Amino acid sequence: MNLSQTFELESGSTRSNQPYICNCACASREVSCSSPLPPRRLSDLRRRLHRRRLSPHLKPFAAQPLCHRLRSSEIPSRSPAFANRNSGALLWNLQHLVVALEQIKIQTMAGYQSNTYNNQNNMWNDGSFGSYNVQHYPSYSASCASSSQSSSSIPGNNSHLQYQYNQWPTYYNHPTSSVSAPATEHLSTNPPVHSVAGGYPYASSQPPPPGTTSWGRGSSASGFPTIQGTAEVAGQNLSSVWEARPPGLQMQQITQVSSYLQKPLETNPVSDNSEDQQKNIVTQGSNLQLSSTNKVSEKFQPPLQTVAMMDTHRVAKIQIPTNPRITSSLPLATPKAEKEIPMNNATLKPAYINVSVSKLNNKIPSHDDSEAIFKMETFPPSLRAYVERTFARCKDDAQRAANKNLLKEMITKSSTDGTLFTRNWDIEPLFPLHIAISDKADQNNMLNSGTVSLSIRKRSPTRRHKSRWEPLPEEKLAEKLTPASNEPAKGANWNQISETETVADTRKHEPKDDGWGRGKFFASRQQNSLNKVVQRPVKKPRFSDTVLTENADGSSDSDKEQGLTKYYSGAMALANSPEERKKREHRSKRFEKGQNHSVEYKPYSPKVAGAGNFHSRRASSLMPAKNNDSSSSKSVEDIDRHALTVRGTCQEIEKCYLRLTSAPDPATVRPEDVLEKALQMVQASEKNYLYKCDQLKSIRQDLTVQRIRNELTVKVYETHARLALEAEDLPEYNQCQSQLKNLYAEGIKGNHMEFSAYHLLCMILHSNNKGDLLSSMARLSAEAKENEAVKHALAVRRAVLSGNYILFFRLYGRAPNLNACFMDLHVEKMRFEAIRCMSKSYRPRVPVAYISQVLGFSRLTPTEESAELVDGLVECEDWLKAHGAVLTVDDSGELQMDTKITSSSLYMPEPDGAVPHGDANLAVNDFLTRTS
């Protein structure tokens, strides 16, 4: 009772409290036996809260810069979008961030309230958060000395019970946090959680794949709170065990032994928690704050954003692998715990049922529609038509609700970026609603797969709005789950799904922020009725605030949520059924395979999913991206390229290069191991350069589209660069060289020295830019200067710049690697220059034999001297004649070059391969003859 009152008061709104109060009553009944909160304390607390809210620290900006910094460090490109959306959601998220940065927590709350930037959302934020933080922290203050500030804000002697109570709301959001930003933030507010995270030995064992880091972190972050939650749960359910629990928790995390926490797991509904815990272990647990920030900004993206989708997608994946452990752990449940569960469920259920209004579902869509239409009045007719079109597709209320929600996001986005009136709505593609819906089911399964999904079963079919979209009847939930998750093909639309989901389920509560909504959604799934009771009151204020902003939905919120909660709580019980367990195990096994490449759409298992699925998945993922594309210029950069990263499935080793004109198709992209074979094939190939170049280009393309940047990539580029050099294909060589430069700069190992020598040679021989040469010389490390190839390149540079032909051709004779290939390109020039020099400085004649020797026509190797000399002589003679030198035979019969006449008759003949357009490389036939 007291508690419910407190919450009500804090919420600053008395609207639609009824259900919560009910729950609270329930909860207090349960809990009161352990330790009721003294009324005096409550009032004290209330007063403090009140005072704080009125405190004169109006510093909304103090928080903002911090957020900025955090965000920018993580995802700079996104910042403009972030800044532009000064919506309630932004505020809300900001506030969360701020909460995460504990120091300014209190001031910010106050500041927001009184600040001009604040709209009605303040109240909402304040309400929910106020209660959160204040209560949340005290609990930690006991265990964590570091949170002194927070403890100061609240009477330190809160009862243990209250601690738990308060904890719950937070906890509830956490499990969801994988999807929802707000929950993520909470993590960071939990100092103990942090420390736990730090201790994970496993964090590093499962690093998120490159490029996906942020997501990984995000999800991991979300996991932490759960841990906390678990602890709490344990405490609540096994109040006597409570003290002992936390250590146990830690241990489990460290050892990752599933058996450890069995107790809490079984104890209750909380199997969910254990899953989350494992999730923590799987993913990396660093940078909580950063990840949360990241999350926040992500959440602002329109629902169709691929980025966000990936997010959810990944989360799901991460979660799933842990399932087997969970399931295995379940049997270990202590009898006591088991006993408790049913009891909780039994007692608490009634409360929900009473309150829930199943009719709401029908009502809400109409609400939305009307609201959307209402809004449309100010919109261009084309947009209105568009909206109508989208609604026309909807087959039922839930779809309509989903549709409306998506629309709202779209419109909000386009109005914030100013494309609302400029965009051509007539050609705007309809977002894929059906996919979203079916995906939604998938996602639920994925996300819930552990314990959460269980709740689905228990819930009565009528409650589940989603069920209408699903192919299978509700009654067969168990069967349904598997097929649904079997179709990751649709997974591309994760975010969309979640959006839709939010619409149907929780969206109503928080139209502006799905994260929250989902948080609740999940929370409610945790059928632990006690917790729920606590949670309700906290959330309520938010709803009432939402009402202010949204004018419509508020009243239905609580009811709706109730229904959901019920639905999910019911499902929990099902989760433990043996067949479901089996299924989950099966699923998780599949996903474990894939989890290494979390971000890409990957073949979950070719057998199950088949290539076709990839296509459809890709298609659906691209669709939202396309939408974004057309929706605004800004959104172009918002598209996360990671979302377009493919995971190839092609097993063919040989593949022709074709420049992509559309997004890559995974079915034609080869995975890394195949590429490696392809490279070996090319290296061993006897075919001509053109073939090899084509093959290598296709390998490079496959590497690029899959964002593979490792030693294989370096090897491919090095191979191609060498081949290109041998074939004197400089354009191709330059491409490789510039890529290699970046790859080496990333620290990937390769033949760095060899290629820095090539780079130098390229500079010397093919560009007249002394500045570039100087700077690349200046950049050479001391180590590089000791390298033979680099030394050689530097010596060549000296020879070329001073015109020292003797030196040049000597260096040519002992060129390491392919340095000679570069020198080849310069030989003609060097010879001509040398002849000019000789014809000017020598009198009266120079023997051709000497010329042949010093200009590299013949190599004087002692063994083959005679043979080579002759060859060289003939060649040299031809060359000299071709360049206009005048040759005579002197008295001794030796061929001589008459320097005096030659000096005036020398000319540079047109190169052999000269073509009218100037670039011999463009003449295909020449090129073919040269390279084949």
For the beta sheet containing 887-889, the strands, ordered from the edge strand earlier in sequence to the opposite edge, are: 845-847, 895-898, 887-889
775 binds another protein (CB under 8 A): yes
Among 199, 207, 803, 909, indicate the residue that binds another protein (CB under 8 A).
803
CA distances from 854 to 473, 812, 884 (A): 89, 11, 19
Q: Which residue lies nearer to another protein by CB, 441 or 760? A: 760
Point out which span in 70-78, 601-609, 699-707, 718-726 binds another protein (CB under 8 A). Answer: 70-78
Q: Are 601 and 491 in contact (CB under 8 A)?
A: yes
Q: Which residue lies nearer to another protein by CB, 62 or 254? A: 62
Among 54, 244, 774, 867, indicate the residue that binds another protein (CB under 8 A).
774
Q: Are 823 and 789 in contact (CB under 8 A)?
A: no
Q: Which residue lies nearer to another protein by CB, 62 or 353? A: 62
Q: How far is the CB of 877 from another protein (least distance, A)?
A: 17
Q: How far is the CB of 421 from another protein (least distance, A)?
A: 23
User: How far from each other are the two terminal CA atoms of the chain, in whole angstroms?
Assistant: 89
- Binding to another protein (CB under 8 A): which residues in 880-919? none
Q: Are 920 and 911 in contact (CB under 8 A)?
A: yes
738 binds another protein (CB under 8 A): no
Q: Beta-carbon neighbour count of residue 426 at 10 Å? A: 12
Q: Are 140 and 150 in contact (CB under 8 A)?
A: yes
Among 854, 869, 873, 876, indicate the residue that binds another protein (CB under 8 A).
854
582 binds another protein (CB under 8 A): no
Among 611, 837, 887, 923, indicate the residue that binds another protein (CB under 8 A).
837
Element (H, E) at 896: strand 895-898
Q: Which residue lies nearer to another protein by CB, 375 or 836? A: 836
Among 392, 427, 745, 778, indicate the residue that binds another protein (CB under 8 A).
778
Among 840, 909, 915, 929, indicate the residue that binds another protein (CB under 8 A).
840
Instruction: For 864-892, give the secondary structure using H, E and C.
Output: CHHHHHHHHHHHHHHHHHHCCCCEEECCC
- Binding to another protein (CB under 8 A): which residues in 779-798? 798
Q: How far is the CB of 68 from another protein (least distance, A)?
A: 8
Q: Are 282 and 322 in contact (CB under 8 A)?
A: yes
Q: Which residue lies nearer to another protein by CB, 62 or 241? A: 62
Q: How far is the CB of 49 from another protein (least distance, A)?
A: 24
Q: How many CA atoms lie within 13 A of 718 on its CB side?
A: 20
Would you call 72 helix, strand, or coil by DSSP?
helix
842 binds another protein (CB under 8 A): yes
859 binds another protein (CB under 8 A): no
Q: Which residue lies nearer to another protein by CB, 802 or 932? A: 802
Among 155, 483, 847, 913, indicate the residue that binds another protein (CB under 8 A).
847
- How many residues lie near another protein (CB under 8 A)? 41
> Peptide bond before 483: cis, by omega within 30 degrees of 0?
no
Quickly tell me which residue has 């977002």 as its tokens: 431
CA distance 537 to 6: 8
Q: How far is the CB of 846 from another protein (least distance, A)?
A: 5
Q: Hey, which residues does 898 pair with through a beta bridge?
A: 845
Point out which span in 149-157, 235-243, 739-747, 775-783 binds another protein (CB under 8 A). Answer: 775-783
Name the residue among 814, 784, 786 with its Cα closest to residue 799.
814
Q: How far is the CB of 63 from another protein (least distance, A)?
A: 10
- Binding to another protein (CB under 8 A): which residues in 115-154? 116
CA distance 90 to 92: 5
259: tokens are 């058996």
Q: Which residue lies nearer to another protein by CB, 804 or 921? A: 804
Q: Which residue lies nearer to another protein by CB, 471 or 803? A: 803
Point out which span in 3-11, 140-148, 637-645, 840-848 binds another protein (CB under 8 A). Answer: 840-848
Q: Beta-carbon neighbour count of residue 843 at 10 Å? A: 11
Q: Which residue lies nearer to another protein by CB, 58 or 385? A: 58
Q: Which residue lies nearer to another protein by CB, 766 or 843? A: 843
Among 25, 663, 773, 827, indicate the residue that binds another protein (CB under 8 A).
773
Q: Are 915 and 926 in contact (CB under 8 A)?
A: yes
Among 47, 395, 641, 770, indicate the residue that binds another protein (CB under 8 A).
770
Name the residue among 880, 873, 888 with its Cα closest to residue 906.
880
114 binds another protein (CB under 8 A): no
Q: Which residue lies nearer to another protein by CB, 708 or 807? A: 807
Q: At what angle do helices 39-54 and 121-143 cross, to 10 degrees?
A: 130
Q: How far is the CB of 840 from another protein (least distance, A)?
A: 5
Task: Tell me, rounded to whole angstroms, the distance of Cα 788 from its chain centroid.
Answer: 43
CA angle centred on 231, ends 507 and 590, rounded to 5° = 65
Q: Which residue lies nearer to another protein by CB, 426 or 890? A: 890
Q: Which residue lies nearer to another protein by CB, 343 or 807? A: 807
777 binds another protein (CB under 8 A): yes
x-or-dash pattern for another protein, window 30-69, by CB under 8 A?
----------------------------xxxxx-----xx
Q: Which residue lies nearer to another protein by CB, 157 or 775? A: 775
Buried b / exposed e over 253-283, threshold 16 CB at 10 Å, is: beebebebbbbbbbbbbbbbbbbbbbbbbbb
586 binds another protein (CB under 8 A): no
Point out which span in 263-271, 357-365, 831-839, 906-914 binds another protein (CB under 8 A). Answer: 831-839
Among 335, 731, 747, 771, indicate the residue that binds another protein (CB under 8 A).
771
Q: Are 308 and 410 in contact (CB under 8 A)?
A: no
Among 850, 868, 920, 931, indicate the residue that binds another protein (CB under 8 A).
850
Among 807, 874, 920, 923, indicate the residue that binds another protein (CB under 8 A).
807
Buried b / exposed e over 38-73, threshold 16 CB at 10 Å, is: eeebbeebeeebeebbeeeebebebbbebbbebbee
The sign one gets for the Cα dihedral 13, 14, 19, 21 is: positive
Among 539, 647, 722, 845, indicate the residue that binds another protein (CB under 8 A).
845
Residue 913 burial (C-beta neighbours within 10 Å; 0-12, 13-18, 19+): middle
Among 257, 660, 801, 928, indicate the residue that binds another protein (CB under 8 A).
801
Point out which span in 322-330, 575-583, 844-852, 921-929 binds another protein (CB under 8 A). Answer: 844-852
Q: Which residue lies nearer to another protein by CB, 548 or 773? A: 773
Name the residue among 136, 154, 166, 143 with its Cα closest to residue 31.
166
832 binds another protein (CB under 8 A): no
Q: Which residue lies nearer to another protein by CB, 717 or 805? A: 805
**Rounded (10°) CA dihedral 177, 182, 185, 190:** -80
Q: How many CA atoms lie within 13 A of 25 on its CB side?
A: 9
Q: Are 703 and 665 in contact (CB under 8 A)?
A: no
Q: Which residue lies nearer to another protein by CB, 247 or 803? A: 803
Q: Are 640 and 306 in contact (CB under 8 A)?
A: yes
Among 76, 862, 893, 916, indicate the residue that binds another protein (CB under 8 A).
76
Pairing of strands 895-898, 845-847: antiparallel
For another protein, the binding residues (CB under 8 A) are 58-62, 68-69, 72-73, 76, 116, 769-775, 777-778, 798, 801-807, 836-838, 840-847, 850, 854
